[in-house]
């Protein structure tokens, strides 16, 4: 797998972990990504968090209900490319604000 694919896969998994509340956004950090990308991952993960945890429905397609683990798996299996696009857009928005 090309290096870009590995990074993309890792980013999607990290967003899904934050969205399914397996990790808290403030606890997410990694030395392999730039600060603006880390912030973008956190922001997208929080955006995809469901409003209610008693009945978790996907914020992108409305499917559910899911358990936390089920929601995590749904996000990485079904919405991988959408999550990647959201993170790229958010990272670009953050960079523009920094300039």
Q: Encode pLDDT of 24-41 as tens digits.
A: 999 988 888 889 899 999
Sign of CA dihedral 92, 29, 24, 8: positive
Query: Looking at residue 5, what is its pLDDT?
Result: 61
Say how many Å lie between the first and final Cα of the chain, rounded: 34
Query: Looking at residue 1, what is its pLDDT?
Result: 45
Sign of CA dihedral 6, 81, 84, 97: positive
Tell me, yes or no, if the pTM score tops 0.85: yes
Q: What's the whole-number mean pLDDT along residues 60-67?
A: 94
């Amino acid at each position: 797998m090309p290096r870009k694919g590995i990074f993309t896969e890792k980013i999607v998994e990290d967003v899904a972990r934050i969205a399914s509340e397996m990790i808290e956004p403030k606890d997410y950090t990694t030395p392999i990504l730039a600060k603006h990308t880390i912030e973008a991952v956190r922001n997208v993960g929080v955006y995809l968090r469901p409003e209610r945890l008693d009945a978790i429905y996907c914020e992108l397609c409305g499917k559910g209900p899911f358990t936390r683990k089920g929601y995590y798996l749904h996000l990485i299996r079904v919405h991988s490319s959408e999550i990647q696009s959201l993170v790229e857009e958010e990272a670009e928005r953050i960079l523009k604000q920094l300039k």
